[in-house]
Chains A and B, each alone.
Chain A
């Protein structure tokens, strides 16, 4: 049914979500637009090049996976890529806010990205994935 049959070890994205949360928390504490911008680039790579090439996934494969047991569960890549894209929108807004002199906008957008990343890390809830249907519902049907 899905166009791309690519899948990843479920533990990879969870690990990536924890790293993302830590990076965004540091960005908030430092009030640093550049740290948010760096995270935005990470999201952009994940969304465009795929989760297997995403920087934190690389970190997972090299540092974490060898210490864990064999892969028990895999999940499709498409939802994750979409979620990375949603993350990119928030992080880009956050970075722009900080760097263009609207630090409150920057902090709030970064905070929202942090909530999404933490929910993913802690309970495996994918906010970006859930938003997708709500958006499709809200937009009137296009001509098929």
Chain B
């Protein structure tokens, strides 16, 4: 039995448990936009990508990479929701071919999602795959009732 190895093994287990707990808690959690009081910078960058929030009740912008399993599930989920929710617009951005915007928006993980309302306000952003039921609830909250 190797003492150093045993210590490293126990440390690895502790680190894994901590990271797993953190990821479970944070993945897909919607938080407010980071930059500017009202998310001005982020919406400007997004509009530079061709995002037109005025055309839908809720616009979801997804940053994905090819090396990202959960991105596919999230994309499929949103496209499925789109079929029954005409008020939902979905924009897919390949992060690796838009590295400038990735840096400007501080996208660190994929999928990273941005949620915009019809007025172009950033409702929030989330990184990591959202839980399906939470994503559905968010979409329903913003596309359910037409005023």
Asked if B102 is an interface residue, CB under 8 A from chain A, the answer is yes
* Residue pair B67, A111 in contact (C-beta under 8 Å): no
Query: In B1-33, which residues have CB < 8 Å from any A CB?
Result: 1-2, 4-6, 8-9, 11-13, 15-16, 19-20, 23-24
Q: Which of A27, A29, A115, A136 sits near B16, CB closer than 8 Å? A: A115
Asked if B108 is an interface residue, CB under 8 A from chain A, the answer is yes
CB distance from A96 to the nearest CB of B (A): 16
Q: Which of B2, B20, B96 sits near A30, CB closer than 8 Å? A: B2
* Residue pair A111, B8 in contact (C-beta under 8 Å): yes
* Residue pair A134, B8 in contact (C-beta under 8 Å): no
Which residues from A are CB-within-8-Å of B95?
133, 136
Q: How far does the alpha carbon of A51 sit from the alpha carbon of B128 in the complex, in Å?
A: 24
Which residues from A are CB-within-8-Å of B110?
130, 133
Query: In A121-144, which residues have CB < 8 Å from any B CB?
Result: 122-126, 128-130, 132-134, 136-137, 141
Q: How far does the alpha carbon of A126 sit from the alpha carbon of B129 in the complex, in Å?
A: 12
Query: In B119-146, which residues have CB < 8 Å from any A CB?
Result: none
Asked if B83 is an interface residue, CB under 8 A from chain A, the answer is no
Q: How far does the alpha carbon of A127 sit from the alpha carbon of B77 in the complex, in Å?
A: 23
* Residue pair A111, B12 in contact (C-beta under 8 Å): yes
* Residue pair B12, A114 in contact (C-beta under 8 Å): yes
* Residue pair B8, A133 in contact (C-beta under 8 Å): no
Q: How far does the alpha carbon of A76 sit from the alpha carbon of B66 in the complex, in Å?
A: 9
Q: Mark B79-102, 1 if CB is under 8 A from A, else 0.
A: 000000000000000111001101
Total of A-B residue pairs, C-beta within 8 Å: 107
Give me 22 A-to-B residue pairs in the complex whose CB atoms sit less than 8 angstroms apart, sorted by A's number: A25-B9, A29-B1, A29-B2, A29-B5, A29-B6, A30-B2, A78-B67, A79-B66, A83-B67, A108-B8, A110-B8, A111-B11, A115-B15, A118-B13, A126-B68, A128-B67, A129-B67, A133-B68, A133-B95, A136-B102, A137-B99, A141-B100
Q: Which residues of B contact A (CB under 8 A)?
A: 1-2, 4-6, 8-9, 11-13, 15-16, 19-20, 23-24, 65-69, 72, 94-96, 99-100, 102-103, 107-110
For the A-B complex with A27-B5, A76-B69 known, give 19 more contacts whose Cβ atoms are closer than 8 Å: A2-B66, A28-B5, A75-B72, A78-B66, A79-B67, A79-B69, A103-B4, A111-B12, A114-B16, A118-B12, A118-B16, A119-B23, A126-B67, A130-B109, A133-B65, A133-B96, A133-B102, A137-B102, A137-B108
